[in-house]
Amino acid sequence: MKAFHFIDEEVVSIIKPDDEGMFTVQIKASTNLLNAKNIIIATGMNDNIESSNIKNLAQFWGNSIFTCGYCHGFEYAGKKAGLYVNNEMFLKLMVPIVYNWNKNLTVFGSKTAIDHINEDDELKKREIKTVSHSSIAEIVGDETQIKSVILLNCDKIELDVLHYVPNSVINMKDLVTKWSRT
């Protein structure tokens, strides 16, 4: 007996579990109802990199610019790395992770975000460079490999990899939120 079954169809409705813990699912292609103990809803995310206003970001996205230093840090271990995040919580989480892979680390972000994570001058003690005076305006490199970033003030900083967290959104967020509450 199979533990799971994939169905690539449009779902019309999902009725919350009955007394036996089974969901009732109706799909568009059939009048038959399906029963399931578990349902995986995979809607994906939109990284919204086009809204970043960073020139050439899309060219390097997924090749030498990544969202997560935990997932992709090993690929560029020991290289010149940048971490560009303005979310204080995410920055505090990601600095130690990226630093674990890359001791040559530059953190880009707002002064407020960087000051928030720099308790007891931890960044200075680890010789982590910080850039809060100017945002990244452009990515420069060869085909898919980043070589440097150009800041709005025209400063150039050489990097081999950039971990950047864009303003991502969950696809079908309203629907996922609604289903998670029922």
22 plus 78 within the same structural domain? no
Whether residue 2 is contained in a domain is answered as: no
The CA distance from 29 to 22, in Å, is: 21
The per-residue pLDDT for 78 is 95
86 plus 149 within the same structural domain? yes
Q: For the domain that residue 156 is a member of, what is the CATH number?
A: 3.50.50.60
Whether residue 128 is contained in a domain is answered as: yes
The per-residue pLDDT for 59 is 96
Q: Considering only residues 175 and 85, tell me which one the structure prediction assigns the higher pLDDT.
A: 85
CA distance to 59, 80, 135, 145, 150, per residue, from 66 (Å): 12, 14, 18, 12, 18
Band of residue 57 on the pLDDT scale cut at 50, 70, 90: very high
39 plus 70 within the same structural domain? no
19 plus 62 within the same structural domain? no
What phi and psi, each to the nearest 5 degrees, are found at residue 72?
A: -120, 0
90 plus 158 within the same structural domain? yes
Band of residue 181 on the pLDDT scale cut at 50, 70, 90: low
94 plus 112 within the same structural domain? yes
Tell which residue, 50, 83, 51, 52, has the closest CA to residue 65.
83
pTM recorded for the entire structure: 0.74
